[in-house]
Structure 1
Amino acid sequence: MTERNFRRYSLVDVEIVGHLAYGISFKVEEGVTGFIDKADVSDTSTSPADWPVAGQIVTCITLGIARDGRVRASARQSDVFLARSVDNPDQALRRWAVIRDRKFATLPELEEFFASRESIPLLEWARRQRVGSADRTRAAEIISIMPDELRRRLG
C-alpha cells in the first residue's frame, strides 16, 4: 500500500493478528502491519476478552503511521461512523476543534454550523466520546441550543 492509502481518517479493513498488552495488532496486507490502542478498540470500556479475535476482519480508520512504521488505527464505531458520514473527516474534525475550543463568536457562525452537512455527524461523533471530555461536553451545549428540527435528526 502507498502512503496515500493511510492518510489520516481513511477507512481500512484490517485482519486481527492478536492481542497485545496495549491493544490489538493487525495486518492490512502482506508486509503492512499496525495496531489499535486499547483506548481505540471500542466506544465503551471493554476487556481484552471482548476484543476482536485473530482472523477477524474489522473496519477501522487510520490515525497515522507510528514511528516504527506501523499503521495506527481506531476501531471505535463513532470514528468509523464519522469517516463514513462526511466527505473529509480530517477537515470536519479540524472545524469541530475550532467550534469546541473557541465556541461561536457570532450568531452567523452558529447558523453556518447548523446549516452544514457535517453538523449532525460531528455532533453524533462528539456525544459518543468519553464522559467529561471536551468534545462530549461541547456537543451537549450545542445540542441544547440547536433548532428542534435538527435535534430530532440526532435521534
Structure 2
Amino acid sequence: MNDVNVQVIVKSPPSEIWKIWSNFAEAPLWDTDVRQCQLDGPFQAGTRGKCVLKNGLNMPLKLEAVSLHESYRNSARLLWIDLEFDHRMRRLSADETHVVHSAKISGPLSFLYRGLLRKALTVAMTTALDNLCTLAEQRAIGAPRHGKTATPLHLV
C-alpha cells in the first residue's frame, strides 16, 4: 500500500517525461524541495546517488528498478525512515501521458512520523508533479507556457 499517490495527465509524449526523470542533475528544475541531485553512475537499477534537500539534509538513494520509457523506482533513507518512490507513466495518446508518483514510508521509526511525513510528502510530490508537467509540456512544444497546465487526478 502506498502512503502517498499523486497523478496527472501531461500534454506531452512519454519521451519528454523520461528525459526529465532520467536527468537527476536537473531535478531541482521541477522538484522544488531538492537543492541538488546526483547519480554515481548510469540511470539503471543498482545505481546509487544522493539528493541534498533545500533544508540541507542529505538523502542517499538507490535506483531499485528502471523500465525504459515506462517507470523507475528508487529507495531513500532519511532520518532513520525508509522511503520508496515509484514513478510510472502510461501513454494515453500521441501527445498525452498519464503520470503517477507514489511513495511508501517504512522503517523502525516510521510509525512515529508517518502522519506528518505523509502530509509533507503529499504537498511536496503534488508540487513536483505539477512542475514536471509544466516543464514536459514546455519542452514538448518547444516554447514556454504561462500558468499551471497540470490536470490533477487524485490524491490519496
TM range (shorter): under 0.3
Q: What TM-score do you get using the length of structure 1 for normalisation?
A: 0.25
Whichever structure has more strand as a proportion of its residues is 2
Q: Which has the larger radius of gyration?
A: 1
Which structure would you say has the larger RCO, counting Cα contacts within 8 Å and 6 or more residues apart? Answer: 2
Whichever structure has more helix as a proportion of its residues is 1
